[in-house]
Amino acid sequence: MQNPKWLNGKKVAIVTDWLTTYGGAEKVVATVSEIFPEAPIFTSQYSEKEVDWFSKNDVRVGWLNIFPAKLRKILPVGRILYFRNLGKKLKDFDVIISICCAESKGLNLSNNQLHISYLQGPPIQYYWGMYNDYIENPGFGRLNFLVRFLFKLLVNPLRKNDFKLAQKPDFLIANSNYSKNEISKYYKRESTVVFPPVEIREFKFQDKKKNYYITTSRQVNWKKLDLAVKAFAKNGKRLILVGGGAEHQKLKNLAKNSQNIEFIQRVNSPKELSKIVGEAKGFIFPSLEPFGIAPIEALATGTPILAFNKGGSQDYIQEGKNGVFFDEQSVESILSAIKKFEKLNFDAKKVSESAKSFSKDNFKKNFEREIRKGFNEKF
């Protein structure tokens, strides 16, 4: 496999914050590496045991890899230093593509190099737009009090540094229109939008639906799954929550008197996940997300969405055609949306077709177009 010919032999490197879990950012890195198969991947932390997508790639890590992956939330200063100095190792590369959730956009490069950063969401959310949610529950259990104290001390200098780092790339690409607007608001920069890749082929169309709702998500406080649990505890309709996380036990406690609410911490295969999502009558999406891969997967199966009317969901939900919106992150708003949802008749085939534009192939085509555009402007 070779890089695209239009590069005219110029060397490409891919940079990302970390590769320590299966997630949307890692999926983007894997897909970009398919476009540029000769490009090595530079990252601060990598666990091949946890993420086996990159076993055939040239992955290069730094000194932060000595720390357990679970500590990445408390290593921002270390990552700032790592990526600031990484430029020395990138001096022989002409085109640097950073896939960024945090600090990897902050590379010190020469004027002869092209740096394009794909931002996997709005400016670092626990510094900026979702600071209050993070302070409420940082996700460190008994150590939350200490993390809160330290984070409140550090957040202002971290914000200033993050703004500074965001000025370094030549071009920015956002993963949604919501992210684009937040980038403009906090970073004062323009960006183009390329929606992330979704493996819609793995989520098979299912016409026959069963009488339950579903949500698949990491169970952390900012996902607002407690609102869904409380809503279904009230209306008595069946809800399945797939996933685990820091809020798992809290959610189970909320649902302890509700036999209609079921928890599945782990689904063993994409085929099994496709089946359980595809048989649901509706997918509940109460969180404010930059994009949202799971709802697109649900749409691919023909399952319509009930989503909070803010964030990435506005890029793919068409009211009354493939889902419904609710305007507030509240139990009452979700209950009203469910009542509205159940009065509508959705065409499962059309719901499924609405996911096609978010395919992996479309991402590759659109992403390469933006990199080539930047390349032609620079060189």
Q: What is the pLDDT of residue 154?
A: 81
As to burial, measured by CB atoms within 10 angstroms (0-12 exposed, 13-18 middle, 19+ buried), residue 70 is exposed
Q: Which two tokens stand for residue 310?
A: 């803010």
* pTM of the predicted model as reported, rounded to 2 decimal places: 0.89
Q: What is the pLDDT of residue 73?
A: 64
**Pairing outcome for strands 323-326 and 95-100:** unpaired
Q: What is the pLDDT of residue 123?
A: 77
Q: What is the pLDDT of residue 153?
A: 84
Which parts of the chain sit beneath pLDDT 50?
none
Question: How far apart, in whole angstroms, are the C-alpha atoms of residue 337 and residue 254?
Answer: 21
Q: What is the pLDDT of residue 172?
A: 98
Tokens 């996380």 found at: 245
Q: What is the pLDDT of residue 337?
A: 98
Q: What is the pLDDT of residue 140?
A: 72
Asked if residue 169 lies in contact with residue 98, where contact means CB atoms within 8 angstroms, the answer is: yes
Distances (CA, A) of 345 to 97, 296, 302, 348: 44, 19, 12, 9
Q: What is the pLDDT of residue 74?
A: 64
Q: What is the pLDDT of residue 107?
A: 95
* Three-state secondary-structure class, residue 134: helix
* Three-state secondary-structure class, residue 172: strand
Q: What is the pLDDT of residue 64?
A: 79
Structural domains of the chain, ranges and CATH numbers in brackets: 5-197+359-378 (3.40.50.2000), 200-357 (3.40.50.2000)
Report the side by side order of strands in the sheet with 192-193.
Answer: 59-61, 41-43, 12-16, 95-100, 114-119, 171-174, 192-193
Q: Which two tokens stand for residue 356?
A: 């096609």
Question: How far apart, in whole angstroms, are the C-alpha atoms of residue 344 and residue 319?
Answer: 11
